[in-house]
């Protein structure tokens, strides 16, 4: 018998359960085809008019048919005493445009501040950015808002006539392929103060024809600056919807996770168990931990708003119990993960082969999630950052 037939016969001996487990660990098991017209280019207006697909978790013993709702139905879908945990990170104007001393145009995406005014950044094109390269950034067109920031009061190089910003490449970062940039600023000024003038809010690469204003790519409760991408499940909330939830005794708590470069990086290894997540900065405050403990003690459910809230909560519970935490996490959640905090999840629809798809699969099961995605596609749901949402409940109340 030739080798190909031997291999085929060996594969045929695997049970459906064994094959399913193999796919859980294979990046190919998280693939699906999405019509390009379903990639949302603009957010729903108003925010809570987006669609909401409601499903239950298989841990309840029986899987019900997905239910089709509108996001503003959320108060009726949750129970009194449930706790929504939201990520209050704020997207910074992290994309900068400039040129080298040679005149060559460049684009920079800031990732994180490593030291005071020294930032890790992705640069494009990147091959020629060697140590010592000087970059000159030009301010965006100035308006009344910029004048309120006090640009005209800065040194000559920061006047309204010709505001400029310069940075020098210190070294290459082996982990991300980015560069460490030291920004040259007057004493007492930080780059974060200047980003409103020199930077723009970066949209994901699959959003190519958007008319959205910057504030539409921020949650209404965004508070802590530091993210380069929005926690998109939170984009569906309005102040009025948050009040309706409070009126129904559906409580709210906050964590912070500054979304980083991992959001834009696909899983590139075939065996997902060998994938290494980039670290992201999180803060789970004592007040949130206390709210979660009180909610669980009273029989309420912890519903994370977005995969970033999941990573923050579960990252702060890696010792076995949830504790207040401030630092970085590289937690990677995929099927087989042992949940410690989160009961349910509100999430958007994610890219194929992404770590976010694997995280949601850990809660609901990979094949079932793909089946639900196929139903969402058939019903014309809008996908990704500006798209519709899904509510995963541990049980129906």
pLDDT digits (tens, 9 = 90+) for 46-93: 999 999 999 987 544 456 789 999 999 999 999 999 999 999 999 999
Mean pLDDT of 381-394: 97
pLDDT confidence of 9, banded at 50, 70, 90?
very low
Confidence of residue 263 (pLDDT cuts 50, 70, 90): low
Query: What is the pTM (predicted TM-score) of this model?
Result: 0.88
| Highest mean pLDDT, choosing among 5-9, 274-278, 310-314 | 310-314
pLDDT band at 18 (very low <50, low <70, confident <90, very high): low
Q: How far apart (Å, rounded) are the C-alpha atoms in residues 306 and 369?
A: 16
Tell me if 131 sits within 8 A of 113, measured CB to CB. Answer: no
The pLDDT of residue 185: 87
Residue 294 confidence class, pLDDT cut points 50, 70, 90: very high
The region of weakest confidence among 17-31, 54-68, 319-333, 353-367 is 54-68
pLDDT on residue 306: 97
Which residues have a Cβ under 8 Å from the Cβ of 47 and sit 6 or more positions away?
A: 71, 220, 235, 236, 237, 238
pLDDT tens column, 148-172: 344 444 433 444 444 679 999 999 9
The pLDDT value recorded for residue 129 is 78
pLDDT (average), residues 197-222: 95
pLDDT at 141 over 60: no
Least confident window among 27-36, 185-194, 324-333? 185-194
- 220 pLDDT higher than 70: yes
pLDDT at 45 over 70: yes
176 contacts: CB under 8 Å, gap ≥ 6? 111, 120, 122, 261, 278
Rounded average pLDDT over 28-44: 97
Average pLDDT over residues 101-109: 90
Task: Calculate mean pLDDT across residues 301-322.
Answer: 97
pLDDT band, very low/low/confident/very high, at 125 (cuts 50, 70, 90): confident
223, 88 contact by CB (below 8 A): yes
Bridge partner residues of 123 (DSSP) = 108
Q: State the pLDDT confidence band at 189, using cuts at 50, 70 and 90.
A: confident
Average pLDDT over the chain, rounded to whole?
88
- Beta pairing, strands 89-91 & 224-227: parallel
Indicate whether 362 pLDDT > 60.
yes
* pLDDT surpassing 90 at residue 208: yes
Determine how many CB atoms are found less than 10 A away from the CB of residue 177: 11
From the number of C-beta atoms within 10 Å of its C-beta (0-12, 13-18, 19+), residue 316 rates as: buried
Which band of pLDDT confidence, cut at 50, 70 and 90, is reported for residue 187?
Answer: confident
CA 126 – CA 146 distance, rounded (Å): 30
- Please tell me the predicted confidence (pLDDT) of residue 130: 84
């Amino acid at each position: 018998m030739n080798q190909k037939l031997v291999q085929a016969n060996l594969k045929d001996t695997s049970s459906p359960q064994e094959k399913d487990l193999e796919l859980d660990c294979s990046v190919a098991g998280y693939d699906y085809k999405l019509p390009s017209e379903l990639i949302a280019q603009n957010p729903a207006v108003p925010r809570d008019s987006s669609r909401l697909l409601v499903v239950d978790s298989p841990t309840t013993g029986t899987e019900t048919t997905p239910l089709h709702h509108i996001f503003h139905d959320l108060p009726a879908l949750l129970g009194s005493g449930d706790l929504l945990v939201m990520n209050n990170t704020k997207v910074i104007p992290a994309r900068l445009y400039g040129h080298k001393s040679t005149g060559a145009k460049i684009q920079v995406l800031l990732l994180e501040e490593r030291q005071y005014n020294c930032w890790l950044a992705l640069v494009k094109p990147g091959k020629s950015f060697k140590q010592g390269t000087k970059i000159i950034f030009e301010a965006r067109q100035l308006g009344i808002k910029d004048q309120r920031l006090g640009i005209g009061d800065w040194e000559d190089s920061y006047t309204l006539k010709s505001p400029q910003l310069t940075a020098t490449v210190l070294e290459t970062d082996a982990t991300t392929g980015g560069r460490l940039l030291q920004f040259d600023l007057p004493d007492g000024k930080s780059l974060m103060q200047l980003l409103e003038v020199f930077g723009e809010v970066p949209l994901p690469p699959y959003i190519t024809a958007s008319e959205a204003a910057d504030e539409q790519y921020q949650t209404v409760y965004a508070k802590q600056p530091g993210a380069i991408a929005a926690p998109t499940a939170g984009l569906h909330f309005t102040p009025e919807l948050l009040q309706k939830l409070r009126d129904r005794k559906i409580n709210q708590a906050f964590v912070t996770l500054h979304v980083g470069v991992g959001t834009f990086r696909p899983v590139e290894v075939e065996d997902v168990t060998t994938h290494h997540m980039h670290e992201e900065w999180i803060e789970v405050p004592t007040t949130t931990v206390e709210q979660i403990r009180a909610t669980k003690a009273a029989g309420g459910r912890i519903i994370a708003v977005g995969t970033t809230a999941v990573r923050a909560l579960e990252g702060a519970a890696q010792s076995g119990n949830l504790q207040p935490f401030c630092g970085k996490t590289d937690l990677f959640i995929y099927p087989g993960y042992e949940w410690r905090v989160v009961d349910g999840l509100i999430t958007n629809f994610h890219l194929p082969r992404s770590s976010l798809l694997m995280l949601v699969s850990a809660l609901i099961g990979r094949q079932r999630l793909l089946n639900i995605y196929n139903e969402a596609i058939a019903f014309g749901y809008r996908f990704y950052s500006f798209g519709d949402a899904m509510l995963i409940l541990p049980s129906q109340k």
